[in-house]
Each structure stands twice: as C-alpha cells, then as structure tokens.
C-alpha cells in the first residue's frame, strides 16, 4: 500500500507536514471517486434486478417471473438502494468538504461516518451472499433436496439478475475500500506514536 512509502519507518515519527498533506489530498480524492462509484454501481444493481421480468407460456398458462418471487432478490434491491442513497449523501459531503477545504477534525463525526460505512459494507456483503446463493440454486438446482433449476426456463431473467449481482459485487468492493478509508480517517486522530 502506498501509505507504507511515505517515509515513516518504525521509530521515526517525524514526517514532513507537506508529505502528509499530499497523502491526505490523495486519500480524499480516492474517497470521493469510490463513493461516487459505489452510488452508481449500487443503483445499477438495484435497477437491473428490480426491472427484470420475463413471461413464459407453459401450455396455456402465462407465468411472469419477477424479482419479488425470491426474497433474497428483494433484499438485494433494498440493500443496494439504501447503499446508493447513503453513498450519494456522502459523495456530496466529500465534494463540499473538498470545496471548502475543511478537514475532518471532529471525532464524533468521524465515528459516525466510520460506523455508517461499516454497516453499509457488511450489509451489502450479506445481501450478496444470500442472493448469490439463491442464484446458484436457481442456476444449478440442489438435487439432494429436490430443488429444481429454474434458470432453464427463465434464461433471460436469470442473466439479468446475474448482471445485477455482478454490479453489486463491484459496488461492494468499492464500499469495503471506502470503509477502510473512513477507518483510516478516524483512527489516525488517535495519536498512536505518543502512546509508545
């Protein structure tokens, strides 16, 4: 990681201020880009799954597949929607903070952002776990318990759900990095060097 290379070696704690300011700026830009990416990707994921539908005629019966047929898909849509809205708010916060040039001095606010990011990251991970598992059953079936494949019948529907999950995975990866950045922004306020 690039943080390792800012010239801080164990035992030497006096880093030039300009180095840290440059690092700080890079971290802020990375955070802004990642938050915007999370917002876009989570929104795409939610829309892809929520708008997905396929009608199949079996003899004379019309059956329409939609995301509400599976609770895990509903959860995926809801969680991605929440993460997108949350990320939108924080993208604006990042922009405002960069324009104003203000700094995160405030420990309670840093704790709030850190906690929010952690909740979002774990929430999207658990939603992906559940929906990927459902998708695997739908695609492959689980013969031991006689759950049949349903993707053979609804191929187009399943593909679009797959795209939604993929988009959600990228949103999740970005969210995990964002949550590490907010951990960095919070815990660096606790001066570790003085404690040793």
Residue 62 dihedral angles phi and psi, to the nearest 5°: -90, 125
Whole-Å CA distances, 106 to 78, 111, 135, 187, 189: 31, 9, 43, 12, 9
Please identify which residue in 23, 74, 82, 166 interacts with its own copies, judged by CB under 8 A: 23
CA angle 177, 186, 89 (to 5 degrees): 60
User: Taking each helix axis from N to C terminus, what angle separates 17-50 and 71-100, rounded to the nearest 10 degrees?
Assistant: 150
77 lies in the site for its own copies, by CB under 8 A: no
Paired strand residues for 55: 64
Binding pattern to its own copies, positions 32-71, x when CB under 8 A? Answer: -------------------------------------xxx
Write down the residue that tokens 């952690």 correspond to. Answer: 118
20 lies in the site for its own copies, by CB under 8 A: yes
Write down the residue that tokens 């919070």 correspond to. Answer: 186
Please identify which residue in 51, 53, 133, 159 interacts with its own copies, judged by CB under 8 A: 133
How many binding residues for its own copies (CB under 8 A)? 62
Q: Measured in whole angstroms, how far is the alpha carbon of residue 159 from the centre of its chain? A: 21
Span interacting with its own copies, options 40-48, 80-88, 91-99, 127-135, rule CB under 8 A: 127-135
Please identify which residue in 78, 100, 111, 155 interacts with its own copies, judged by CB under 8 A: 111
Please identify which residue in 2, 11, 61, 62 interacts with its own copies, judged by CB under 8 A: 11
Nearer residue to its own copies within complex by CB, 17 or 57: 17
In 3D space, the residue among 130, 126, 134, 172 whose CA is nearest the CA of residue 34 turns out to be 172
Please identify which residue in 78, 97, 137, 166 interacts with its own copies, judged by CB under 8 A: 137
Cβ proximity of 90 and 115 under 8 Å = no
For 148, which DSSP code? P
| Residues contributing to the site for its own copies (CB under 8 A) | 1, 3-4, 8, 10-11, 13, 15, 17, 20-21, 23-24, 69-72, 103, 105-108, 111, 118, 121-122, 125-134, 136-138, 142, 144-148, 150, 176, 180, 183-196
């Amino acid at each position: 990681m690039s943080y390792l290379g800012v010239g801080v070696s164990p035992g030497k704690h006096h880093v030039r201020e300009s180095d840290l300011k440059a690092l700080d700026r890079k971290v802020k830009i990375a955070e802004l880009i990642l938050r915007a990416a999370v917002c876009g990707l989570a929104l795409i994921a939610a829309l892809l799954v929520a708008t997905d539908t396929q009608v199949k005629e079996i003899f004379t019966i019309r059956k329409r597949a939609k995301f509400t047929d599976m609770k895990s898909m509903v959860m995926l849509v809801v969680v991605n929607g929440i993460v997108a809205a949350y990320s939108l708010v924080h993208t604006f916060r990042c922009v405002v903070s960069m324009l104003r040039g203000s700094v995160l001095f405030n420990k309670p606010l840093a704790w709030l952002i850190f906690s929010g990011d952690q909740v979002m990251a774990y929430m999207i991970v658990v939603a992906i776990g559940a929906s990927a598992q459902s998708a695997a059953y739908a695609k492959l079936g689980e013969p031991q318990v006689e759950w049949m494949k349903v993707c053979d019948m609804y191929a187009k529907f399943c593909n679009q759900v797959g795209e939604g999950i993929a988009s959600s995975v990228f949103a999740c990866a970005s969210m995990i990095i964002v949550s590490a950045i907010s951990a960095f922004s919070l815990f660096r306020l606790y001066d570790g060097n003085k404690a040793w």
